[in-house]
Structure formats: structure tokens, C-alpha cells
Copies of this chain bind each other. A is one copy, B any other.
């Protein structure tokens, strides 16, 4: 529930958008319970397919990020702020999950292009909208881009250049 609902919750709190989406529509909670139950049954019966988690995570990132940008647009934000709200919606749930497990969030580890993929896809969506592409194809293009960048990062182990600084302490 933290992973699935955390990003949208932080977005709604930051935007003062009340009631928060899962208070307005408690079906979100029921969907989490159902997904948890199905997942527990599945992994009890068989080992999950290699990287199944990463595929699910990439699709969630794509869907939540673009959806978050659209909600930010609904409340009148645009450009950088809409992009940022999309990225927060997409990545904060996973960040909270990793923080609760006392691990450095995936988003801060090299070789993931995690935030990068969300930023690129959200920016593409906003850019396509600005040049006149209608909402749904623009959203689809943004989501596909996010998923593809994430898959590429995992398959080819792409990474942005890492800057190392000698610790001055």
C-alpha cells in the first residue's frame, strides 16, 4: 500500500487536494488488498519469473508519472511544476518502500535511470501537448517512453556519468 499509494498521497498533500484520492475513493485500498492477496498466492505456488517485479514496477512508474502530471494540470499547474508532480507521483511510493526497509532508494542508485525515465517521459508528454498533440496519444507516448527507458537501463545496464567527490570529512 505504501508503494502503490505513497506517491499520489504526497502529491495530493503538496497540492492541498482533499480528500486525498484513496479517501475519496476507498476502492483504491480494496485494489491493494486484492493485488496483495493474488501476489501472495502466486509466489506461494511458483517462483516469480525473472525480473517480473521490474516489469511491473516500470509499468507502474509509467502509469503513475503521466497520471500525476495530468492531475497537476487539472489543478492549474504546468511546465516544471507539473513535471515535478508527475515524478513525485511516480517515484515517491518506491522511495518510501525502500526507506522503510532501511535501504538506499532505487532512485538514488546508479545504473537505474529511474528518475531519469520518469523525467524524460513526463517532459515528452508535456512537450507533445504543447505542440498540439491531443491528450491521450501524448500520454501514451510518455508512458511508453518511461517503460522503454527503464527496460533499456536494466537490460543494457545504462547509466548516467557518476561524479565522485573525495569525502572532505
Q: Which residues of A contact B (CB under 8 A)?
A: 9, 13-16, 18-20, 23, 26, 29-30, 40, 43-44, 47-53, 77, 79-81, 84, 95, 99-105, 108, 163, 165-166, 168
Contact = CB atoms under 8 A, between A and B. Distances in A.
Given A9-B14, A16-B18, A102-B103, A23 B165 contact: no
A50 B163 contact: no
A84 B9 contact: no
Contacts of A44: 163
A103 B103 CA distance: 9
Contacts of A47: 165-166, 168
Contact of A101 (B14, B29, B43, B104): B104
* CB-based closest 3 A-B pairs: A16-B18, A102-B104, A43-B165
Contacts of A18: 16
